[in-house]
Amino acid sequence: YAMLLSLIFLIVLVAAVVGFVFRHEIKTNFESNLNLALRDYNVTADRHSEAVDTIQRTLHCCGVQNYSDWERTEYFTQRGIPRSCCKSQDDCSEEDLKDPSKAKLKVFVDGCFFLVTSTMESKMSGVGGISFGIACFQLVGIILACCLSQYITNNQYEMV
């Protein structure tokens, strides 16, 4: 049991170190994937388009850096900025979404990349604290399992 807990502890420790060391690569990867999702965005309900819509609706953002990122997509030439960027769904017509100057007043102007990364970074202290607490419990479990094993081994020879 102590070896199993030690193995799990080491796996979590390695994952935490790798995540910390490669956090900048993770950000860069996320930004390029978000740009790719915008480029390939369409109205058919594929997972990437749904994810972009969910991020934009939830975080009240639009595009990667800002709403004008949509102007460089094929979707914009056909339909304008997606409705998931609208501040109010009732006050957002398709004509407004096709005109960037009108759309600026109707959609969220902040980009999603900064909001997603700042939200993740703000939550990391909580995740780190919980992970540290779990790691402490694992270490206590490892120590107690080793003590129990030692106690059982020592008492084996005293039986008569």
* pLDDT number for residue 151: 86
Does pLDDT of 143 surpass 90?
Answer: yes
Give the end-to-end CA distance of the chain in Å, rounded to a whole number: 28
Tell me if the domain spanning 1-158 has CATH number 3.20.20.210.
no
What pLDDT, in 10s, does the model give residues 31-83? Answer: 999 888 888 888 566 788 888 889 999 999 999 999 889 988 888 888 888 88
Residue 111 burial by CB count (10 A; 0-12/13-18/19+): exposed, middle or buried? buried
Give the Cα separation of 36 and 59 in Å (integer).
19
Q: What does the domain layout of the chain look like in residue ranges?
A: 1-158
- Residue of 65, 57, 60, 58 lying closest to 34 (CA atoms): 65
